[in-house]
Structure 1
């Protein structure tokens, strides 16, 4: 679905990524894993066309036959609106605290795909119910909901929009262990029920083991290993990957 080739990112003379290559296959959950500062978030920013103005980038990010690095701001805005849905680390930062949840959910989903408010209400009511959220949440403000409930609201929007690609950037780091597991199960449901391609960025190997089909291992701006998650967990090929796996126990 997406092929990243020879991607290098420099910011203020600092190498963020070094000629990295990896693929996000259609219909799978692909996990990008690495320590903090390894370049994961900047790689996501490159995919979304949201790198800082002073960033210098080379290589290619191919999607539907075109290089996203060559796309204009307007073209990338269209791609983000029509094809990609992103869930960030702390869902509370995605919501306006002074606007009721229902209005924001509509902006994130129904309005985005051109549905009227009545159509949105009917469809979102069913989705929220399936995700264990009461319809009453639409009348509440973000600060009245827990972090786990806000992340479920973002997942509800992803179920509604059915994006070609869902990017989840450290989506569980602000959640406790129980809520982490629930959230990952929702991602798996989205992939299995809707066929949504998911790019999951995390530093948690247990999450990768539970959810991912494919695995991309990043260290200090370089990709050191890629492959089937099951294969890498069983037979890691790179010394860094071996150290990561050993750190689980």
Structure 2
């Protein structure tokens, strides 16, 4: 679905990523894993066309047969609106604290695909119920909900939109262990029930083991190992991957 090839990003003469190569296969959950500062989030920014204005980028991010690194600002905005949905680390930062959730959920989902408010209410009511959220949340403000409930609201938008690609950037880092597990199960449901392709960025190997089909290991701005989760876990080749796996125990 997406092929990242030879992706190098430099900011103020400092290399952030160097010759990054990995593939996000359609219908699979691919995990990009590495320590903080390894270049994961900047790689995601390149995929979304959201790199800082002073970033110098080279290489290829091939999507539907074209290099989206060459796309215009307007083309990337359209791609993010129609094909890609992103869930960030702390859901509270994705919401306006002074606007009720119903209005914001509509903006994130129904409005993006041109649905009327009535159509949105009907569809979202069913989705929220499926995710264990009462319809009353639409009348609440973000600060009235827990971090776990806000992340469920973001997942609800993903269920509504059924995007071609869902990017989840450290989505469980602000959640406790119980809520982390619940959220990961929702991602798995989205993949299995809707066939949604997911790029899951994390530093947690337990999450990778539970959710992902394939993985790419990143260290100091470079991909050092790729493969199916089963293959990499059973037979890691790179020393850094081996250290990560040993740190689980």
- Specify the TM-score bucket, using the shorter chain as the normaliser: over 0.9
What residue is the counterpart of 1:33 in the other structure?
33
TM-superposed CA distance for 1:32, in Å, is: 0.1
Query: Distance in 2 between the 1:178 and 1:13 partners?
Result: 42
What SS class does the counterpart of residue 37 from structure 1 fall into? coil
- CA deviation vs aligned residue, 1:23-71 (integer Å, no higher than 9, x gap): 0000000000000000000000000000000000000100001101000
Query: Distance in 2 between the 1:76 and 1:118 partners?
Result: 29
What residue is the counterpart of 2:90 in the other structure?
90
Residues 1:81 and 2:81 aligned together? yes
RMSD (CA atoms): 0.3
What SS class does the counterpart of residue 96 from structure 2 fall into? coil
What residue is the counterpart of 2:63 in the other structure?
63
Residues 1:14 and 2:38 aligned together? no
What residue is the counterpart of 1:211 in the other structure?
211
Runs of at least 5 residues in structure 1 that lack an aligned partner in the other structure? none
Query: Distance in 2 between the 1:230 and 1:195 partners?
Result: 21
Query: Distance in 2 between the 1:97 and 1:227 partners?
Result: 41
Residues 1:150 and 2:150 aligned together? yes
Query: Distance in 2 between the 1:197 and 1:238 partners?
Result: 27
| Segments ≥4 residues shifted beyond 2 Å | none
Count of residue correspondences: 249
TM-superposed CA distance for 1:202, in Å, is: 0.1
Equivalent residues in 2 for 1:49-60, closer than 5 Å:
49-60=49-60
What residue is the counterpart of 1:141 in the other structure?
141
What SS class does the counterpart of residue 243 from structure 1 fall into? helix
Runs of at least 5 residues in structure 2 that lack an aligned partner in the other structure? none
